[in-house]
């Protein structure tokens, strides 16, 4: 009798007048639908003293934590699937949109806010983060609210020779990361994280819990790279773990313009995609103080690689493939694969593996104010284009700007672009991530930084992929991919413009699947 009495009392206290607020109706519906009073403790409304801290707890881009940012009517932090089912049902019933948050790394904040002033509810999966590793079968079940750091830590505890090809930032939420494809240190050897998903548990628009068999081939294809928050809410993923050596080798070599960086970058782009699959080559470019004159600025290119092998194997390989870089043994460090993920995020050598579990840690793309964009490069960029690019890094808006090049090739050349929604496979030399960030006190002049980013992106137009100019859906960018609200008549034509950039010819198949499984477009965002 208690749950029924609880609902009656709660409904009396909420319905102080005939026209209840949407949040009150939503809460009343939740308690009725769940038939369990405990769900009230898992919901934070704007009247709750913990609301703000819960909302900001997983917000990675502080650009979307300002007073002017639209906020949810409520945040639901489910403990099990039935809570999500109830929330989905009640949002549908009361005309509320849903935002699903796993790690909060959505570049445009769309997992916890809205670019439009529409009533919405955040379903935060922070409590659904279990990781179960089966070493004998080389598989793992991981819930969507877990971070990749928590996944890597659990794999490392169980095995020194198993890994998983997902991203390098430990605070990435597994749910959103895999939903958009997910690449990291092992992708040239084993493909994307989404390529190595072998089953999943999904709550669809009708509240059903579906696995790979019951959801069917099309929907299972779509959720592995078709974009988070689009087809339902994935509760958990079954992953195929991959073989890694007990020790891998990591190096970072930094070169400035005065140390021939331009020619080295130009040379790297012609050979990096041809390196063995066992190597993850990247370059980070930013401005720094000159070592010759600290009052003078220069451009620095940081060449980083993670190699699935020993130092003794790596040195002769680099001497053969890229002697101009001058790699020596002292530049290299051996460590476990799990540790290499921390090293790749610029953590100090030898940092504790427990750092993987720190959800609040700050990295290049978390816990800061930033804007990012992406590109794919299919033809060599002329040396003169780089020389024209460097002066832009001396501009006022580029104080904390960077570009990251990640070499493709390897396994990515072998997987068909229709194998999953993520199409950027064969023919790509490397990808580019552009990032500019700034301090809180500078946020009042954020247009300066946004403008810098857009100018650099425009400058790069002749040198990157064309027809369409491709983009990575996990690097969300509303400059190129925003849908107009309540414009269903033209939404397909508008969406196809950015859809082709993210998914190329896979976009039409995604639209077909979306129409079939969610014809009313309940799971939607900008």
82, containing H or E segment: helix 81-93
Strands (DSSP E) contained in 21-107 are 43-45, 74-76, 97-101
Catalytic residue among 51, 152, 475, 492: 475
Q: Residue 402: helix, strand or coil by DSSP?
A: strand
As a whole number of angstroms, the distance between CA 205 and CA 503 comes to: 23
- In terms of DSSP bridges, do strands 209-210 and 242-243 run parallel, antiparallel, or are they unpaired? unpaired
Per DSSP (E only), the strands in 46-171 are 74-76, 97-101, 120-124, 131-134, 139-143, 162-163
Site of tokens 């490392």: 156
Estimate to the nearest angstrom the gap between the alpha carbon of 195 and the chain centroid.
Answer: 15
Q: How far apart are CA 221 and CA 447, in angstroms?
A: 39
Evaluate whether 166 touches 178 at the Cβ level (below 8 Å): yes
Quote the CA–CA distance of 111 and 228 in Å, as a whole number. Answer: 9
Burial of 50 (0-12, 13-18, 19+ CB in 10 A): exposed
Give the DSSP per-residue string, 149-192.
HHHHHHHHHH-SSEE----S-TT-BHHHHHHT----TTHHHH--
Beta-strand ranges (E) seen in 337-477 are: 369-377, 401-407, 430-438
On the 0-12 / 13-18 / 19+ scale of CB atoms within 10 A, 378 is middle
475 is catalytic: yes
Instruction: Report the b/e string of 305-319 with b at 16+ CB within 10 A.
Output: bbbbbebeebbebbe
Counting beta carbons within 10 angstroms of the beta carbon of residue 303, is it exposed (0 to 12), middle (13 to 18) or buried (19 or more)? buried
- C-alpha 44/C-alpha 313 separation (Å) is 54
**8 Å CB contact between 333 and 349:** yes
**Is-contact 117 68, C-beta < 8 A?**
no
Q: Which residues are catalytic?
A: 475
């Amino acid at each position: 009798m208690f749950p029924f009495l609880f609902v009656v009392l709660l409904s009396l206290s909420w319905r102080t007048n005939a026209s209840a607020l949407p949040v009150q109706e939503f809460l009343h519906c939740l308690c009725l639908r769940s038939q369990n009073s405990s769900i009230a403790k898992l919901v934070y409304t704007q009247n709750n003293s913990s609301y703000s801290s819960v909302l900001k707890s997983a917000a990675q881009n502080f650009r979307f934590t300002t007073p002017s940012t639209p906020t949810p009517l409520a945040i639901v932090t489910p403990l099990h699937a039935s809570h999500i089912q109830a929330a989905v049902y009640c949002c549908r019933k009361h005309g509320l949109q849903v935002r699903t948050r796993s790690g909060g790394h959505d570049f445009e904040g769309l997992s916890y806010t809205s670019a439009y002033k529409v009533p919405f509810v955040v379903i935060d999966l922070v409590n659904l983060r279990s990781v179960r590793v089966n070493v004998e079968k080389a598989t793992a079940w991981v819930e969507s609210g877990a971070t990749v750091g928590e996944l890597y830590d659990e794999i490392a505890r169980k095995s020194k020779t198993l890994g998983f090809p997902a991203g390098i930032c430990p605070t990435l939420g597994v749910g959103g990361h895999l939903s958009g494809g997910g690449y990291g240190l092992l992708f040239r050897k084993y493909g994307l994280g989404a390529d190595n998903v072998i089953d999943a548990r999904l709550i669809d628009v009708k509240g059903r819990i579906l696995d790979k068999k019951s959801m069917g081939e099309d929907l299972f294809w779509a959720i592995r790279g078709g974009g988070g928050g689009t087809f339902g809410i994935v509760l958990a993923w079954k992953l195929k773990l991959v073989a890694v050596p007990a020790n891998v080798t990591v190096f970072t070599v930094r070169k400035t313009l005065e140390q021939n960086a331009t020619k080295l970058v130009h040379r790297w782009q012609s050979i990096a995609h041809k390196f063995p699959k066992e190597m993850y080559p990247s370059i980070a470019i930013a401005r720094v103080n000159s070592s010759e004159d600290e009052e003078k600025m220069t451009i620095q290119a940081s060449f980083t690689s993670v190699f699935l092998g020993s130092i003794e194997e790596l040195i002769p390989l680099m001497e053969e493939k890229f002697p101009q870089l001058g790699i020596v043994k002292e530049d290299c460090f051996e460590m476990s694969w799990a540790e290499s993920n921390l090293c790749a995020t610029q953590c100090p050598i030898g940092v504790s593996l427990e750092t993987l579990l720190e959800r609040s840690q700050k990295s290049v793309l978390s816990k800061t104010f930033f804007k990012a964009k992406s590109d794919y490069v299919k033809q060599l960029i002329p040396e003169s284009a780089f020389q024209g690019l460097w002066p832009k890094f001396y501009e006022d808006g580029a104080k904390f700007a960077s570009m990251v090049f990640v070499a493709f090739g390897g396994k990515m050349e072998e997987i068909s672009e229709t194998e999953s929604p993520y199409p950027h496979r064969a023919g790509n030399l490397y990808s580019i991530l552009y990032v500019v960030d700034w301090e809180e006190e500078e946020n009042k002049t954020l247009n300066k930084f946004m403008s810098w980013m857009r100018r650099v992106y425009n400058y790069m137009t002749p040198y990157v992929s064309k027809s369409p100019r491709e983009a990575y859906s996990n690097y969300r960018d509303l400059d190129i991919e925003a849908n107009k609200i309540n414009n269903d008549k033209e939404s397909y034509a508008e969406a196809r413009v950015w859809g082709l950039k993210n998914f190329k010819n896979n976009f039409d198949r995604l639209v077909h699947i979306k129409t079939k499984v969610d014809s009313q477009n309940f799971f939607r965002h900008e």
